[in-house]
Amino acid sequence: MLMAWCTAAAAQLRPWDPACYRLNQMQPHDRIVPEGDWERSLDGMWIDGHGDTVPVPNALPLRDSVTVLSRTFTLPGHWHGRRTVLKFAAAGPALVVSVNGREAGYTVDSKSPAEWDITRLLRPGTNRLEARLLRSCAGSRLEEELPPGGITRSVTLYSLPTTYISDVKVTADLDPADYRTGRLDLLVDLSREVQGGTVEAWLTAPCREGRCDTVAHLRRRLASGDWYASLAATVPDIRPWCDTAPTLYTLTLRLLDPAGRETERLVKRIGFRRVEVLQGLLCLNGKPLELRGINRPERSALGGQHPSHEEMRRVATLLKGMGVNAVRTPCYPADEYWYDLCDSLGLYLWDEANIQTSDSALTESLEWVNPVLYRVYNMYRRDRNHPSVIVWSLGRFAHNGHCAREAYRFLKGKDNTRPVVLPGVWNVRATDLASPPNLSPWLLTRLADKLPAATPCLPADLTPLGGSLDDHWRAILRHPRLQGAFFSGFEAGDLKALFSK
Protein backbone atom coordinates (compact mmCIF):
# COMPACT_ATOMS: atom_id res chain seq x y z
CA MET A 1 0.00 0.00 0.00
CA LEU A 2 1.08 3.60 -0.58
CA MET A 3 0.89 4.43 3.13
CA ALA A 4 3.19 1.54 4.02
CA TRP A 5 5.69 2.75 1.41
CA CYS A 6 5.50 6.29 2.77
CA THR A 7 6.15 5.09 6.32
CA ALA A 8 9.09 2.97 5.17
CA ALA A 9 10.53 5.90 3.21
CA ALA A 10 10.24 8.14 6.26
CA ALA A 11 11.94 5.58 8.49
CA GLN A 12 14.86 5.40 6.05
CA LEU A 13 15.37 9.17 6.30
CA ARG A 14 14.90 9.70 2.58
CA PRO A 15 13.33 12.70 0.87
CA TRP A 16 9.69 11.94 0.25
CA ASP A 17 7.47 11.72 -2.77
CA PRO A 18 4.58 14.23 -2.96
CA ALA A 19 2.19 11.28 -3.19
CA CYS A 20 3.06 10.50 0.44
CA TYR A 21 2.82 13.78 2.26
CA ARG A 22 -0.22 14.90 0.24
CA LEU A 23 -2.11 11.62 0.66
CA ASN A 24 -5.75 12.59 1.41
CA GLN A 25 -4.47 15.84 2.95
CA MET A 26 -6.45 19.04 2.53
CA GLN A 27 -4.67 22.11 1.19
CA PRO A 28 -3.16 24.32 3.91
CA HIS A 29 -5.38 27.30 4.64
CA ASP A 30 -6.22 30.08 7.05
CA ARG A 31 -8.14 28.88 10.10
CA ILE A 32 -11.74 28.54 8.95
CA VAL A 33 -14.54 27.09 11.06
CA PRO A 34 -18.14 28.02 10.17
CA GLU A 35 -20.15 29.90 12.75
CA GLY A 36 -22.27 27.60 14.88
CA ASP A 37 -21.84 24.32 16.74
CA TRP A 38 -19.46 22.79 14.21
CA GLU A 39 -16.26 22.06 16.17
CA ARG A 40 -15.27 19.41 18.74
CA SER A 41 -12.01 19.06 20.67
CA LEU A 42 -10.31 15.67 20.89
CA ASP A 43 -7.84 16.87 23.53
CA GLY A 44 -7.69 14.90 26.74
CA MET A 45 -6.46 11.46 27.73
CA TRP A 46 -5.49 9.05 24.96
CA ILE A 47 -4.25 5.45 25.25
CA ASP A 48 -0.74 4.52 24.13
CA GLY A 49 0.51 1.17 22.81
CA HIS A 50 1.44 0.06 26.34
CA GLY A 51 -2.10 0.57 27.64
CA ASP A 52 -1.16 3.72 29.59
CA THR A 53 -3.10 6.98 29.45
CA VAL A 54 -1.27 9.93 27.86
CA PRO A 55 -2.40 13.58 27.83
CA VAL A 56 -2.93 15.24 24.46
CA PRO A 57 -1.50 17.79 23.68
CA ASN A 58 1.83 16.70 25.11
CA ALA A 59 5.55 16.87 24.41
CA LEU A 60 6.59 13.57 25.92
CA PRO A 61 9.76 11.90 24.60
CA LEU A 62 8.79 9.11 22.20
CA ARG A 63 9.80 5.86 23.90
CA ASP A 64 9.68 3.71 20.78
CA SER A 65 10.61 4.15 17.13
CA VAL A 66 6.84 4.16 16.49
CA THR A 67 4.51 5.40 19.23
CA VAL A 68 0.81 4.58 18.89
CA LEU A 69 -1.84 6.76 20.54
CA SER A 70 -5.57 6.15 20.18
CA ARG A 71 -8.98 7.26 21.43
CA THR A 72 -12.65 6.95 20.49
CA PHE A 73 -15.20 9.63 19.60
CA THR A 74 -18.83 9.99 18.59
CA LEU A 75 -20.12 12.59 16.15
CA PRO A 76 -22.98 14.93 17.12
CA GLY A 77 -26.23 13.97 15.43
CA HIS A 78 -26.63 17.26 13.59
CA TRP A 79 -23.28 16.71 11.81
CA HIS A 80 -24.60 13.82 9.71
CA GLY A 81 -24.97 14.59 6.01
CA ARG A 82 -22.04 17.04 6.13
CA ARG A 83 -18.28 16.72 5.72
CA THR A 84 -16.13 15.94 8.79
CA VAL A 85 -12.51 17.13 8.93
CA LEU A 86 -9.85 15.88 11.35
CA LYS A 87 -7.17 18.40 12.29
CA PHE A 88 -3.86 17.90 14.10
CA ALA A 89 -2.54 21.42 14.75
CA ALA A 90 1.00 20.06 15.27
CA ALA A 91 2.35 16.52 15.63
CA GLY A 92 5.44 14.65 14.60
CA PRO A 93 8.21 14.22 13.65
CA ALA A 94 6.04 12.12 11.32
CA LEU A 95 2.39 11.25 11.84
CA VAL A 96 0.33 8.45 10.30
CA VAL A 97 -3.41 8.63 11.03
CA SER A 98 -6.06 5.88 10.81
CA VAL A 99 -9.80 6.04 11.45
CA ASN A 100 -11.64 2.81 12.21
CA GLY A 101 -8.63 0.82 11.01
CA ARG A 102 -8.48 2.57 7.62
CA GLU A 103 -5.64 4.88 6.63
CA ALA A 104 -6.59 8.55 6.67
CA GLY A 105 -3.34 10.40 5.99
CA TYR A 106 0.30 11.16 6.65
CA THR A 107 2.31 14.30 7.46
CA VAL A 108 5.96 15.17 8.08
CA ASP A 109 5.75 18.90 8.94
CA SER A 110 5.51 18.68 12.71
CA LYS A 111 4.73 22.38 13.33
CA SER A 112 2.02 23.05 10.74
CA PRO A 113 -1.60 21.86 10.81
CA ALA A 114 -2.45 18.64 8.99
CA GLU A 115 -6.10 18.11 8.03
CA TRP A 116 -7.94 15.26 6.38
CA ASP A 117 -11.53 14.86 5.20
CA ILE A 118 -12.47 11.64 7.02
CA THR A 119 -16.17 11.57 6.11
CA ARG A 120 -15.93 8.34 4.12
CA LEU A 121 -14.09 6.59 6.97
CA LEU A 122 -16.73 7.24 9.64
CA ARG A 123 -19.49 4.95 10.81
CA PRO A 124 -22.58 5.44 13.00
CA GLY A 125 -21.93 5.47 16.74
CA THR A 126 -18.42 5.15 18.17
CA ASN A 127 -15.37 5.70 15.96
CA ARG A 128 -11.75 4.88 16.74
CA LEU A 129 -8.89 7.26 15.93
CA GLU A 130 -5.28 6.06 15.90
CA ALA A 131 -2.16 8.21 15.56
CA ARG A 132 1.22 6.62 14.88
CA LEU A 133 4.16 8.91 15.64
CA LEU A 134 7.54 8.11 14.06
CA ARG A 135 10.54 9.14 16.13
CA SER A 136 12.72 9.57 13.01
CA CYS A 137 11.69 10.43 9.49
CA ALA A 138 12.81 12.26 6.38
CA GLY A 139 11.55 15.48 7.92
CA SER A 140 13.91 15.08 10.88
CA ARG A 141 16.74 16.41 8.71
CA LEU A 142 14.85 19.71 8.46
CA GLU A 143 14.01 19.89 12.18
CA GLU A 144 17.38 19.63 13.89
CA GLU A 145 16.64 22.07 16.72
CA LEU A 146 13.14 20.91 17.63
CA PRO A 147 12.62 19.20 21.01
CA PRO A 148 11.32 15.59 21.13
CA GLY A 149 8.13 15.01 19.17
CA GLY A 150 4.60 14.13 20.12
CA ILE A 151 1.16 15.64 19.60
CA THR A 152 2.21 19.12 20.69
CA ARG A 153 -0.93 21.11 19.82
CA SER A 154 -4.66 20.49 19.86
CA VAL A 155 -6.55 17.83 17.93
CA THR A 156 -10.02 18.80 16.70
CA LEU A 157 -12.89 17.71 14.50
CA TYR A 158 -14.97 20.21 12.61
CA SER A 159 -17.94 19.97 10.26
CA LEU A 160 -18.45 21.60 6.87
CA PRO A 161 -21.30 21.67 4.36
CA THR A 162 -20.96 19.64 1.17
CA THR A 163 -19.82 22.73 -0.74
CA TYR A 164 -17.92 25.18 1.42
CA ILE A 165 -15.38 27.99 1.47
CA SER A 166 -12.07 26.16 1.66
CA ASP A 167 -9.89 29.26 2.04
CA VAL A 168 -9.86 33.01 1.65
CA LYS A 169 -6.88 35.19 0.79
CA VAL A 170 -7.26 38.68 2.25
CA THR A 171 -5.09 41.53 0.97
CA ALA A 172 -5.85 44.61 3.09
CA ASP A 173 -3.43 47.17 1.74
CA LEU A 174 -3.19 50.97 1.92
CA ASP A 175 -2.84 53.41 -0.94
CA PRO A 176 0.73 54.80 -0.65
CA ALA A 177 -0.54 58.21 -1.82
CA ASP A 178 -2.12 58.89 1.59
CA TYR A 179 -1.91 55.69 3.70
CA ARG A 180 -5.57 56.27 4.64
CA THR A 181 -7.41 54.74 1.69
CA GLY A 182 -7.83 51.00 2.06
CA ARG A 183 -7.57 48.57 -0.84
CA LEU A 184 -9.35 45.31 -0.05
CA ASP A 185 -8.89 42.28 -2.31
CA LEU A 186 -10.48 38.92 -1.50
CA LEU A 187 -9.88 35.62 -3.25
CA VAL A 188 -12.42 33.08 -1.98
CA ASP A 189 -11.60 29.44 -2.77
CA LEU A 190 -14.42 26.90 -2.92
CA SER A 191 -14.19 23.21 -2.11
CA ARG A 192 -15.55 22.05 -5.44
CA GLU A 193 -17.24 23.29 -8.56
CA VAL A 194 -20.52 24.94 -7.66
CA GLN A 195 -23.81 24.85 -9.52
CA GLY A 196 -24.48 28.53 -9.01
CA GLY A 197 -25.14 30.69 -5.98
CA THR A 198 -23.50 33.77 -4.48
CA VAL A 199 -20.55 34.82 -2.33
CA GLU A 200 -21.15 37.90 -0.18
CA ALA A 201 -18.76 39.86 2.02
CA TRP A 202 -19.34 42.64 4.55
CA LEU A 203 -16.57 44.77 6.06
CA THR A 204 -17.51 46.35 9.39
CA ALA A 205 -15.50 49.06 11.13
CA PRO A 206 -14.65 48.83 14.84
CA CYS A 207 -17.57 49.90 17.00
CA ARG A 208 -17.75 53.49 18.23
CA GLU A 209 -20.30 54.52 20.84
CA GLY A 210 -22.21 51.30 20.28
CA ARG A 211 -22.31 51.69 16.46
CA CYS A 212 -20.56 49.26 14.10
CA ASP A 213 -20.81 50.72 10.60
CA THR A 214 -20.55 48.57 7.47
CA VAL A 215 -17.97 50.27 5.25
CA ALA A 216 -18.09 47.83 2.31
CA HIS A 217 -20.53 45.26 0.93
CA LEU A 218 -19.30 42.97 -1.85
CA ARG A 219 -21.26 40.41 -3.81
CA ARG A 220 -20.29 38.01 -6.58
CA ARG A 221 -22.60 35.66 -8.45
CA LEU A 222 -21.20 32.18 -9.01
CA ALA A 223 -21.58 30.49 -12.37
CA SER A 224 -21.89 26.74 -12.67
CA GLY A 225 -18.44 25.19 -12.44
CA ASP A 226 -16.75 28.07 -10.56
CA TRP A 227 -13.95 27.14 -8.16
CA TYR A 228 -13.31 30.59 -6.71
CA ALA A 229 -14.64 34.15 -6.48
CA SER A 230 -12.63 37.38 -6.56
CA LEU A 231 -13.95 40.52 -4.84
CA ALA A 232 -12.40 43.97 -4.41
CA ALA A 233 -13.27 47.33 -2.87
CA THR A 234 -11.71 50.70 -2.11
CA VAL A 235 -12.45 51.86 1.43
CA PRO A 236 -11.80 55.53 2.38
CA ASP A 237 -10.81 56.82 5.82
CA ILE A 238 -9.27 53.60 7.05
CA ARG A 239 -7.77 53.46 10.52
CA PRO A 240 -4.44 51.72 9.79
CA TRP A 241 -3.16 48.82 11.91
CA CYS A 242 0.10 49.29 13.84
CA ASP A 243 1.58 48.29 17.20
CA THR A 244 0.28 51.36 19.03
CA ALA A 245 -3.17 51.29 17.39
CA PRO A 246 -3.96 47.69 16.36
CA THR A 247 -7.27 48.51 14.64
CA LEU A 248 -9.11 45.44 13.37
CA TYR A 249 -12.09 45.38 11.01
CA THR A 250 -14.61 42.52 10.93
CA LEU A 251 -14.95 40.63 7.65
CA THR A 252 -18.05 38.45 7.30
CA LEU A 253 -18.34 36.01 4.40
CA ARG A 254 -21.52 34.21 3.35
CA LEU A 255 -21.99 31.41 0.83
CA LEU A 256 -25.50 31.19 -0.65
CA ASP A 257 -26.95 28.38 -2.75
CA PRO A 258 -28.78 29.08 -6.08
CA ALA A 259 -32.06 29.53 -4.18
CA GLY A 260 -30.50 32.26 -1.99
CA ARG A 261 -30.30 30.13 1.17
CA GLU A 262 -27.24 30.65 3.37
CA THR A 263 -25.14 27.48 3.52
CA GLU A 264 -22.11 28.88 5.35
CA ARG A 265 -21.02 31.98 7.27
CA LEU A 266 -17.44 32.83 8.27
CA VAL A 267 -16.17 35.74 10.37
CA LYS A 268 -12.60 37.04 10.39
CA ARG A 269 -10.82 40.07 11.85
CA ILE A 270 -8.43 41.86 9.52
CA GLY A 271 -6.19 44.92 9.64
CA PHE A 272 -5.18 47.37 6.93
CA ARG A 273 -1.48 48.20 6.78
CA ARG A 274 1.31 48.50 4.23
CA VAL A 275 4.78 46.98 4.69
CA GLU A 276 7.50 48.15 2.31
CA VAL A 277 11.17 49.03 2.04
CA LEU A 278 11.68 52.75 1.39
CA GLN A 279 15.14 54.27 0.97
CA GLY A 280 16.78 51.26 2.56
CA LEU A 281 14.48 51.18 5.63
CA LEU A 282 11.71 48.77 6.56
CA CYS A 283 8.55 50.87 6.84
CA LEU A 284 4.99 50.36 8.03
CA ASN A 285 2.34 52.73 6.68
CA GLY A 286 5.04 54.96 5.25
CA LYS A 287 7.05 55.35 8.48
CA PRO A 288 10.34 53.60 9.39
CA LEU A 289 9.97 50.89 12.03
CA GLU A 290 11.93 50.52 15.24
CA LEU A 291 11.61 46.89 16.29
CA ARG A 292 12.15 46.11 19.97
CA GLY A 293 11.94 42.36 19.62
CA ILE A 294 12.46 39.07 21.40
CA ASN A 295 12.69 35.45 20.28
CA ARG A 296 9.84 33.32 21.64
CA PRO A 297 10.05 29.54 21.35
CA GLU A 298 6.91 27.72 22.49
CA ARG A 299 7.18 26.63 26.12
CA SER A 300 4.65 26.10 28.86
CA ALA A 301 5.30 27.09 32.47
CA LEU A 302 3.76 23.73 33.37
CA GLY A 303 6.20 21.84 31.16
CA GLY A 304 6.15 20.82 27.52
CA GLN A 305 5.70 22.72 24.28
CA HIS A 306 1.99 23.55 24.52
CA PRO A 307 1.19 26.72 26.48
CA SER A 308 -2.50 27.23 27.12
CA HIS A 309 -4.44 30.14 25.62
CA GLU A 310 -4.38 31.83 29.01
CA GLU A 311 -0.59 31.44 29.26
CA MET A 312 -0.14 32.90 25.77
CA ARG A 313 -2.38 35.85 26.58
CA ARG A 314 -0.47 36.49 29.80
CA VAL A 315 2.88 36.41 27.97
CA ALA A 316 1.67 38.73 25.19
CA THR A 317 0.32 41.24 27.73
CA LEU A 318 3.58 41.05 29.70
CA LEU A 319 5.64 41.72 26.57
CA LYS A 320 3.59 44.80 25.73
CA GLY A 321 4.10 46.06 29.28
CA MET A 322 7.87 45.60 28.91
CA GLY A 323 7.99 47.82 25.83
CA VAL A 324 8.48 44.90 23.41
CA ASN A 325 6.70 45.49 20.09
CA ALA A 326 7.96 42.57 17.97
CA VAL A 327 8.30 38.80 18.36
CA ARG A 328 10.18 36.26 16.26
CA THR A 329 8.86 32.69 16.15
CA PRO A 330 12.29 31.03 16.04
CA CYS A 331 12.68 27.89 13.94
CA TYR A 332 8.96 27.16 13.38
CA PRO A 333 5.54 28.85 13.18
CA ALA A 334 3.80 29.34 16.51
CA ASP A 335 0.34 28.20 17.60
CA GLU A 336 -2.46 29.84 15.58
CA TYR A 337 -3.90 31.52 18.67
CA TRP A 338 -0.64 33.46 19.15
CA TYR A 339 -1.20 35.24 15.84
CA ASP A 340 -4.71 36.30 16.88
CA LEU A 341 -3.24 37.76 20.07
CA CYS A 342 -0.56 39.67 18.18
CA ASP A 343 -3.20 41.03 15.79
CA SER A 344 -5.39 42.31 18.61
CA LEU A 345 -2.68 43.55 21.02
CA GLY A 346 -0.31 45.06 18.44
CA LEU A 347 2.82 42.90 18.26
CA TYR A 348 4.78 42.67 15.00
CA LEU A 349 5.64 39.12 13.97
CA TRP A 350 8.70 37.71 12.25
CA ASP A 351 7.09 34.45 11.08
CA GLU A 352 9.57 31.62 10.53
CA ALA A 353 9.12 28.40 8.55
CA ASN A 354 9.72 25.02 10.18
CA ILE A 355 13.19 24.56 8.68
CA GLN A 356 16.39 24.12 10.66
CA THR A 357 19.34 22.30 9.10
CA SER A 358 23.12 22.53 9.38
CA ASP A 359 23.59 20.05 6.51
CA SER A 360 25.38 21.84 3.65
CA ALA A 361 24.77 18.96 1.25
CA LEU A 362 21.02 19.14 1.90
CA THR A 363 20.99 22.91 1.38
CA GLU A 364 22.42 22.44 -2.13
CA SER A 365 20.45 19.27 -3.00
CA LEU A 366 17.85 19.46 -5.77
CA GLU A 367 15.83 16.58 -4.29
CA TRP A 368 15.24 18.56 -1.08
CA VAL A 369 13.76 21.59 -2.84
CA ASN A 370 10.16 20.29 -2.76
CA PRO A 371 10.24 19.33 0.95
CA VAL A 372 11.56 22.83 1.75
CA LEU A 373 8.92 24.54 -0.41
CA TYR A 374 6.22 22.40 1.22
CA ARG A 375 7.04 23.80 4.67
CA VAL A 376 7.32 27.38 3.42
CA TYR A 377 3.96 27.01 1.65
CA ASN A 378 2.30 25.65 4.81
CA MET A 379 3.43 28.71 6.77
CA TYR A 380 2.39 31.15 4.05
CA ARG A 381 -1.10 29.71 3.52
CA ARG A 382 -1.90 29.49 7.23
CA ASP A 383 -0.62 32.93 8.30
CA ARG A 384 -0.97 35.21 5.26
CA ASN A 385 -4.12 37.00 6.50
CA HIS A 386 -2.65 38.23 9.79
CA PRO A 387 -1.72 41.94 9.81
CA SER A 388 0.79 41.29 12.60
CA VAL A 389 2.97 39.21 10.24
CA ILE A 390 5.27 41.79 8.67
CA VAL A 391 8.23 39.54 7.74
CA TRP A 392 8.42 36.04 6.27
CA SER A 393 11.46 34.04 7.41
CA LEU A 394 12.70 30.99 5.50
CA GLY A 395 14.16 29.29 8.60
CA ARG A 396 17.71 28.18 9.34
CA PHE A 397 19.81 26.82 6.48
CA ALA A 398 23.47 25.78 6.56
CA HIS A 399 24.18 28.56 4.08
CA ASN A 400 22.63 30.58 1.28
CA GLY A 401 22.34 27.55 -1.00
CA HIS A 402 20.10 26.29 -3.77
CA CYS A 403 17.15 25.31 -1.52
CA ALA A 404 17.18 28.71 0.21
CA ARG A 405 17.28 30.59 -3.08
CA GLU A 406 14.42 28.54 -4.51
CA ALA A 407 12.38 29.08 -1.33
CA TYR A 408 12.97 32.83 -1.58
CA ARG A 409 11.81 32.97 -5.21
CA PHE A 410 8.79 30.78 -4.42
CA LEU A 411 7.60 32.90 -1.49
CA LYS A 412 8.19 36.22 -3.27
CA GLY A 413 6.08 34.89 -6.13
CA LYS A 414 3.24 34.11 -3.71
CA ASP A 415 3.35 37.33 -1.65
CA ASN A 416 4.90 40.65 -2.61
CA THR A 417 3.35 42.54 0.33
CA ARG A 418 6.01 41.49 2.88
CA PRO A 419 9.81 41.18 2.83
CA VAL A 420 11.37 37.72 2.90
CA VAL A 421 14.43 37.11 5.06
CA LEU A 422 16.95 34.33 5.56
CA PRO A 423 18.33 34.64 9.13
CA GLY A 424 22.07 34.86 9.49
CA VAL A 425 22.54 36.04 5.90
CA TRP A 426 23.43 39.46 4.53
CA ASN A 427 24.00 38.33 0.92
CA VAL A 428 20.92 39.72 -0.82
CA ARG A 429 20.45 36.79 -3.24
CA ALA A 430 17.93 35.11 -0.93
CA THR A 431 16.78 37.85 1.41
CA ASP A 432 15.21 41.31 1.32
CA LEU A 433 16.65 42.20 4.74
CA ALA A 434 20.18 41.70 5.96
CA SER A 435 19.97 39.59 9.11
CA PRO A 436 23.53 39.11 10.41
CA PRO A 437 24.40 36.41 12.94
CA ASN A 438 25.07 37.11 16.59
CA LEU A 439 27.84 39.73 16.58
CA SER A 440 29.42 42.12 19.04
CA PRO A 441 28.13 45.72 18.90
CA TRP A 442 31.31 46.87 17.13
CA LEU A 443 31.14 44.17 14.40
CA LEU A 444 27.42 44.73 13.97
CA THR A 445 27.88 48.42 13.17
CA ARG A 446 30.84 47.66 10.86
CA LEU A 447 28.67 45.23 8.90
CA ALA A 448 25.80 47.72 8.68
CA ASP A 449 28.22 50.27 7.21
CA LYS A 450 29.08 47.91 4.33
CA LEU A 451 25.54 46.95 3.32
CA PRO A 452 24.00 48.08 0.02
CA ALA A 453 22.08 51.33 0.45
CA ALA A 454 18.72 49.68 -0.37
CA THR A 455 19.00 46.86 2.19
CA PRO A 456 17.62 47.23 5.76
CA CYS A 457 19.51 45.49 8.57
CA LEU A 458 17.70 43.60 11.33
CA PRO A 459 19.60 41.10 13.54
CA ALA A 460 17.42 38.08 14.33
CA ASP A 461 19.10 36.59 17.41
CA LEU A 462 21.24 38.86 19.57
CA THR A 463 22.60 37.45 22.84
CA PRO A 464 25.11 38.90 25.36
CA LEU A 465 28.14 38.40 23.09
CA GLY A 466 30.95 40.93 23.27
CA GLY A 467 28.90 43.46 25.21
CA SER A 468 25.87 44.00 27.38
CA LEU A 469 22.28 44.50 26.32
CA ASP A 470 22.78 48.27 26.72
CA ASP A 471 25.85 48.16 24.45
CA HIS A 472 23.91 46.43 21.68
CA TRP A 473 20.91 48.72 21.96
CA ARG A 474 23.02 51.91 22.01
CA ALA A 475 24.81 50.73 18.86
CA ILE A 476 21.47 50.04 17.16
CA LEU A 477 20.02 53.43 18.11
CA ARG A 478 23.13 55.27 16.88
CA HIS A 479 23.24 53.59 13.47
CA PRO A 480 20.59 54.74 10.95
CA ARG A 481 20.63 51.39 9.09
CA LEU A 482 19.94 49.27 12.18
CA GLN A 483 16.20 49.24 12.88
CA GLY A 484 16.14 47.16 16.02
CA ALA A 485 16.77 43.52 16.82
CA PHE A 486 15.32 40.35 18.28
CA PHE A 487 17.03 39.46 21.56
CA SER A 488 17.54 36.11 23.30
CA GLY A 489 18.98 35.14 26.65
CA PHE A 490 18.07 38.26 28.63
CA GLU A 491 15.96 38.62 31.74
CA ALA A 492 12.53 40.23 31.42
CA GLY A 493 13.53 42.97 33.84
CA ASP A 494 16.56 43.90 31.72
CA LEU A 495 14.40 44.27 28.61
CA LYS A 496 11.81 46.32 30.42
CA ALA A 497 14.45 48.67 31.81
CA LEU A 498 15.96 49.08 28.36
CA PHE A 499 12.85 49.49 26.20
CA SER A 500 11.06 51.78 28.65
CA LYS A 501 13.84 54.41 28.45
Q: Where are the beta strands (DSSP E) in 205-242?
A: 214-224, 228-235
**Is residue 163 classed as helix, strand or coil in its secondary structure?**
coil
Check: CB of residue 286 under 8 Å from CB of residue 252: no
- Which superfamily, per CATH, for 165-270? Immunoglobulins (2.60.40.10)
pTM for the structure as a whole: 0.93
pLDDT band at 494; cut points 50, 70, 90: low
Q: Residue range 463-475: average pLDDT?
A: 76
pLDDT of residue 36: 83
Residues 6+ apart with CB under 8 A from 310: none
Q: What is the pLDDT of residues 255-268, one digit of tens each?
A: 999 999 999 999 99
pLDDT band at 465; cut points 50, 70, 90: low
pLDDT of residue 5: 45
| Domain residue ranges in the chain | 2-160, 165-270, 290-499
Q: Which residue has the higher pLDDT, 146 or 159?
A: 159
Check: CB of residue 388 under 8 Å from CB of residue 347: yes
DSSP 8-state code for residue 46: E
Task: Report the top-level CATH class of 290-499.
Answer: alpha beta
pLDDT band at 326; cut points 50, 70, 90: very high
User: What's the burial of 254, exposed, middle or buried (CB within 10 Å: 0-12/13-18/19+)?
Assistant: middle
In this model, does residue 423 exceed pLDDT 70?
A: yes
Q: What angle do CA 488, 355, 396 make, to 5 degrees?
A: 50
Cis peptide before 57 (omega within 30 of 0): yes
pLDDT of residue 460: 87
Q: What is the pLDDT of residues 366-380, one digit of tens each?
A: 889 999 999 999 999
Q: What is the pLDDT of residues 20-47, one digit of tens each?
A: 656 667 888 998 777 789 999 999 999 9
**Which CATH number is 2-160 given?**
2.60.120.260
CA–CA dist 162, 255 (Å, integer): 12
Query: CB 308: neighbour CB atoms within 10 A?
Result: 14
pLDDT of residue 260: 93
pLDDT band at 437; cut points 50, 70, 90: confident
pLDDT band at 56; cut points 50, 70, 90: very high
Residue closest to 189 by CA, chosen among 216, 173, 167, 206: 167
Q: List residues bridging with 74 in a β-sheet.
A: 126
Instruction: Return the C-alpha torsion angle 416, 107, 352, 296, nearest 10.
Output: 150
Q: Which residue has the higher pLDDT, 303 or 220?
A: 220
CA–CA dist 409, 413 (Å, integer): 6
pLDDT band at 13; cut points 50, 70, 90: very low
In this model, does residue 409 exceed pLDDT 90?
A: yes
Check: CB of residue 95 under 8 Å from CB of residue 147: no
Q: What is the pLDDT of residues 337-369, one digit of tens each?
A: 999 999 999 999 999 999 998 888 888 988 899
Q: Which residue has the higher pLDDT, 467 or 274?
A: 274
pLDDT of residue 23: 63
Check: CB of residue 438 under 8 Å from CB of residue 461: yes
Question: Within 13 Å, how many C-alpha atoms sit on residue 242's CB side?
Answer: 19
In this model, does residue 193 exceed pLDDT 50?
A: yes
CA–CA dist 240, 231 (Å, integer): 21
What integer best gives the mean pLDDT of the chain? 88
% of the chain surpassing 70 pLDDT: 90
**Is residue 228 classed as helix, strand or coil in its secondary structure?**
strand
